[in-house]
C-alpha cells in the first residue's frame, strides 16, 4: 500500500523540506511571541490555558511536530498571543505573522479618541471588501449550477457537494460578519455625543444600510441568487458541450487504442484524481483503460483545465501522477488486475489498514469477517489514537474508496474486501 501511494501521489522532497521548515519556524515564532512583553505567557502551559487548548497541542506546535490545526484552535492561539487572524496560515505558507500592535498603527480607528470620519472611512473600506467577497460567492453559485447540470446530464460526473458546503459556510460567515458590523455601527450611533450626533448619523447611517443589506442577510437557502436561480449570476460564455467532449474523447480513444497493446481492454483500471490545491482525492474503477481516460478527460476539462494540458496529463497518466497544470489536478491510471481474475474472486473478509502521513508508513493491519466489524475496529483504533469522533466517522465512511484522512495531516484508514482465489 505504501508503494502504491508513493507511485500514485509522489511528493517532491523540496516541498516536504519546505513544509517541515515552516512548521519548525511556526513553533519558534509562537514560543518567542508568548514571552513578548505584549503577551507575557512565559510557559507553554500558560499559553494552553489562555487559548483553551491542551498542553500537548501547544508542545507539539512549538517543537514543530504538528501544524494541522482545527480553525477554532488556530483562532484561539492567535488571539492569546495577539496575532491577527490568519497569521498561523501565513507562517505555514512561508510568510510572517501580523501583530496586533502593527494593526493598531496601520488602522488608527482601533485606538480610542480618533476622529469619527476616520472610523467611518475604515468601516467603509471593510464593507467594500465584504461586498467583493459577496460578488465572488455569487460567481461561485453560477459555477456550482453548471457543475450540477453536468452531473445531472452525465452520471459519471460527481455532484458538486463539497462546493455547495463551502459556499454555504462562506455565506454563513459573511452573514455573521455583517450582523457584527451592524451592531457596532448601531452602538456608535447610539453612543454619539449630542454635539456631533448629526455628523455621526450622516456618516454611519449609509454604512448601517450596507452592512444590514436584507438580501445579504438571508440564509443561503433563501437567497434569490441561490444555485437554483440565475438572477444574480454574472454573464459567462457557454460551457463546453458534453457531446463535443464525448466526440473528441472518442476520437482520441480510438487513436490511443491503436497504439496500445490488445490486452489493455481486459482488466480492471483504477483512475486516481487529486486536487493539488486542496489535496482532495477521487478514485474510480473502470473495466478498460479507454473508459478511464475518457472519464478523466471530460472531468478535467469540466473543471476548467486546458485541453492541451489535459491531453499531456492523460498521455503520461499510466506512468506517474501527471499534473494537468501547476495548481490543477494530478491524474493516474493503472491496471490492477485482469478482468478474468476479477470475476473469479470470492469474498474472504475485510482488511483494515492504517496510514500515518507524518512517517509515510502503514501500520496496524487487521482482518475482520464483515464490513461492519471492520468499521468498528477502525473506529475504535482511530479514537484510541486521539482523533475526534466526527473526523473518525467521516474517515471510516470513505475508507472503502480511498485512504481517508481523519483530518488534514492526520491518520489514514483503508478498508478493503479480501478475496479467495
Same domain, 334 and 352: no
Same domain, 130 and 40: no
Same domain, 179 and 217: yes
Question: Which residue in this structure is represented by grid cell 462562506?
Answer: 170
Q: Can you tell me the distance from the alpha carbon of 208 to that of 245, in angstroms, rounded to the nearest whole number?
A: 49
**337's grid cell:** 488486475
- Asked if the structure places residue 132 within a domain, the reply is yes
Residue 9, CB-side half-sphere exposure with 13 Å CA sphere:
19
**If you count them, how many residues does the chain have?**
421
Secondary structure (DSSP) of 370-394: SHHHHHHHHHHHHHHTT--HHHHHH
Same domain, 92 and 12: yes
- Asked if the structure places residue 140 within a domain, the reply is yes
Domain end call among 308, 338, 368: 338
Average pLDDT over residues 398-414: 66
Do residues 282 and 297 lie in contact, with contact meaning Cβ atoms separated by under 8 Å? no
Average pLDDT over residues 379-400: 79
Q: Can you tell me the distance from the alpha carbon of 42 to that of 54, in angstroms, rounded to the nearest whole number?
A: 16
Q: Can you tell me the distance from the alpha carbon of 297 to that of 382, in angstroms, rounded to the nearest whole number?
A: 36
What's the Cα-to-Cα distance from 406 to each of 344, 369, 403, rounded to whole Å? 34, 24, 9
Do residues 388 and 351 lie in contact, with contact meaning Cβ atoms separated by under 8 Å? no
Which pLDDT does position 221 carry in this prediction? 52
CATH for 50: 1.10.260.40
- Per-residue pLDDT at 26 exceeds 70: yes
Same domain, 136 and 186: yes
Domain end call among 338, 369, 386: 338
Of these ranges, 21-30, 128-137, 348-357, the one predicted with the greatest mean pLDDT is 21-30
Average pLDDT over residues 162-188: 81
**How do strand 268-275 and strand 329-337 relate by DSSP bridges?**
antiparallel
- Per-residue pLDDT at 261 exceeds 50: no
Q: Can you tell me the distance from the alpha carbon of 170 to that of 132, in angstroms, rounded to the nearest whole number?
A: 13
Q: The dihedral of CA 373, 377, 383, 384: what is its sign?
A: positive
- Asked if the structure places residue 234 within a domain, the reply is no
- Asked if the structure places residue 324 within a domain, the reply is yes
pTM: 0.31
- Asked if the structure places residue 294 within a domain, the reply is yes
Q: What is the DSSP letter of 326?
A: T
- The predicted-structure confidence for 131-165, as pLDDT tens digits, reads as follows 888 888 888 888 888 888 877 777 777 778 888 88
Report percent pLDDT > 90 for the chain: 2
Same domain, 137 and 174: yes
Which pLDDT does position 29 carry in this prediction? 92
Can you give the residue range of the structural domain that contains 392? 345-420
Q: Can you tell me the distance from the alpha carbon of 108 to that of 96, in angstroms, rounded to the nearest whole number?
A: 22
- Asked if the structure places residue 229 within a domain, the reply is no
Same domain, 65 and 131: no
Number of domain units in the chain: 4
| 374 — pLDDT class (breaks 50, 70, 90) | confident
Same domain, 84 and 150: no
Buried residues in 123-138 as b, exposed as e (16+ CB within 10 A): beebbeebeeebeebb
Domain end call among 189, 222, 255: 222
Same domain, 74 and 127: no
- Asked if the structure places residue 379 within a domain, the reply is yes
- Kindly report which listed range (92-106, 330-344, 375-389) carries the lowest average pLDDT score: 330-344
- The predicted-structure confidence for 276-319, as pLDDT tens digits, reads as follows 666 666 777 777 888 888 888 887 777 777 777 777 778 776 65
Same domain, 190 and 209: yes
Q: Helix, strand, or coil here: 17?
A: helix
Do residues 31 and 81 lie in contact, with contact meaning Cβ atoms separated by under 8 Å? no
| 121 — pLDDT class (breaks 50, 70, 90) | confident
- Asked if the structure places residue 395 within a domain, the reply is yes
Of these ranges, 38-47, 100-109, 358-367, the one predicted with the greatest mean pLDDT is 38-47
| 120 — pLDDT class (breaks 50, 70, 90) | confident
Report percent pLDDT > 70 for the chain: 68
Same domain, 316 and 260: yes
**85's grid cell:** 487572524
- Per-residue pLDDT at 72 exceeds 70: yes
Secondary structure (DSSP) of 336-360: EE-HHHHHH-EEEEEEEEEEETTTT
**411's grid cell:** 491518520
Mean residue pLDDT of the chain comes to 72
- Per-residue pLDDT at 358 exceeds 80: no
Average pLDDT over residues 93-100: 83
Of these ranges, 54-63, 102-111, 227-236, the one predicted with the greatest mean pLDDT is 54-63
Q: Can you tell me the distance from the alpha carbon of 105 to that of 228, in angstroms, rounded to the nearest whole number?
A: 45
Q: Can you tell me the distance from the alpha carbon of 293 to that of 252, in angstroms, rounded to the nearest whole number?
A: 9
Amino acid at each position: 500500500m505504501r508503494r502504491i501511494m508513493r507511485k500514485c501521489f509522489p511528493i517532491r522532497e523540496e516541498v516536504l523540506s519546505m513544509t517541515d521548515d515552516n512548521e519548525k519556524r511556526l513553533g519558534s515564532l509562537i514560543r518567542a511571541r508568548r514571552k513578548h512583553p505584549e503577551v507575557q505567557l512565559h510557559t507553554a502551559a500558560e499559553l494552553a490555558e489562555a487559548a483553551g487548548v491542551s498542553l500537548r497541542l501547544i508542545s507539539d506546535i512549538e517543537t514543530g511536530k504538528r501544524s494541522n490545526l482545527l480553525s477554532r484552535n488556530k483562532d484561539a492561539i492567535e488571539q492569546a498571543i495577539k496575532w491577527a487572524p490568519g497569521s498561523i496560515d501565513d507562517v505555514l505558507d512561508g510568510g510572517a505573522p501580523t501583530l496586533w500592535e502593527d494593526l493598531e498603527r496601520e488602522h488608527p480607528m482601533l485606538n480610542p479618541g480618533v476622529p469619527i470620519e476616520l472610523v467611518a472611512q475604515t468601516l467603509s473600506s471593510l464593507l467594500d471588501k465584504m461586498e467583493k467577497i459577496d460578488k465572488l460567492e455569487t460567481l461561485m453559485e453560477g459555477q456550482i449550477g453548471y457543475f450540477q447540470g453536468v452531473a445531472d446530464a452525465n452520471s459519471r460526473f460527481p455532484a458538486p457537494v463539497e462546493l455547495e458546503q463551502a459556499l454555504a459556510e462562506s455565506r454563513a460567515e459573511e452573514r455573521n460578519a455583517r450582523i457584527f458590523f451592524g451592531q457596532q455601527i448601531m452602538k456608535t450611533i447610539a453612543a454619539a455625543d449630542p454635539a456631533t450626533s448629526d455628523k455621526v448619523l450622516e456618516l454611519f447611517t449609509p454604512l448601517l444600510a450596507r452592512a444590514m443589506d436584507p438580501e445579504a442577510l438571508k440564509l443561503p437557502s433563501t437567497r434569490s441568487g441561490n444555485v437554483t436561480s440565475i438572477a444574480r449570476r454574472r454573464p459567462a460564455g457557454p460551457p463546453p458541450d458534453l457531446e463535443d467532449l464525448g466526440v473528441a474523447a472518442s476520437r482520441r480513444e480510438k487513436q490511443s487504442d491503436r497504439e496500445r497493446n490488445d490486452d489493455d481492454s481486459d482488466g480492471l483500471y483504477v483512475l486516481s484524481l487529486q486536487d493539488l490545491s486542496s489535496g482532495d482525492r477521487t478514485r474510480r474503477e473502470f473495466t478498460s483503460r479507454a473508459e478511464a481516460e475518457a472519464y478523466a478527460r471530460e472531468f478535467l476539462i469540466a473543471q476548467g483545465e486546458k485541453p492541451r494540458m489535459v491531453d499531456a496529463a492523460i498521455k503520461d497518466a499510466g506512468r506517474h501522477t501527471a499534473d494537468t497544470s501547476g495548481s490543477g489536478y494530478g491524474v493516474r491510471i493503472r491496471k490492477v488486475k485482469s478482468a478474468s481474475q476479477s470475476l473469479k474472486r470470492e469474498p474472504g473478509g475485510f482488511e483494515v489498514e492504517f496510514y500515518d502521513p507524518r512517517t509515510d508508513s502503514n501500520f496496524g493491519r487487521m482482518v475482520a469477517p464483515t464490513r461492519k466489524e471492520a468499521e468498528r475496529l477502525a473506529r475504535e483504533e482511530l479514537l484510541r489514537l486521539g482523533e475526534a469522533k466526527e473526523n473518525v466517522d467521516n474517515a471510516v465512511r470513505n475508507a472503502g474508496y480511498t485512504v481517508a484522512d481523519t483530518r488534514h495531516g492526520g491518520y489514514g484508514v483503508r478498508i478493503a474486501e479480501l478475496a479467495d482465489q
